[in-house]
Amino acid sequence: YKRQLLAECKMNPQKMIDILKIVKSENENSPSVNDLSDYDIEAIKGDSDRFFEALKKLDYDIIQKVIALISKECDLSLDKIIQNKWILSWDEVLEMSNDNIEFGSHGQSHRILTKLSSSEIQKELIHSKELYLDYQHSFHRMGLKLSQ
């Protein structure tokens, strides 16, 4: 849905760069922000798809800050994002589950696991499973089939 968000915003590459620079300067102590080089950021000028490659280097909480800045810049609310079908509703998840489509955990922050250290991968998977366990009763009440 991120690409659709940017398309709806009509966000140009320079604005993407500005947002990443703001987030980088406000979060200098974050290891994931330090993984984001100036080259990564400036490369967006020539190829806006590099924006998404840059996001993959960031922790989940930092990505949320980026999305919040984009949403604020473009005056988009979560309601509009859902209305435009950029993310699935729980009803859609239930319908897909009833059609035997499975959803699986792939980490808490959606970072590329092959780019993380063993301890970071372990944290990602443990936190993801903890979230799963916290919400499994809600999933069962909605009729979702879950496996462990």
Distance CA 65, CA 113 (A): 21
> Does the pTM of the predicted model rise above 0.85?
no
CB proximity list for 96: less than 8 A, separation 6 or greater:
88, 103
Comparing 89 with 98, the larger pLDDT belongs to 98
Distance of CA 54 to the CA centre of its chain: 12
The whole-number pLDDT of residue 141 equals 62
Model pLDDT for residues 22-70, shown as the tens digit of each residue: 988 998 888 778 778 888 888 888 777 788 778 878 877 788 788 788 8
The whole-number pLDDT of residue 113 equals 78
How many Cβ atoms sit within 10 Å of the Cβ of residue 134? 9
Model pLDDT for residues 114-134, shown as the tens digit of each residue: 778 899 888 888 888 787 777
On average, the pLDDT of the chain sits at: 75
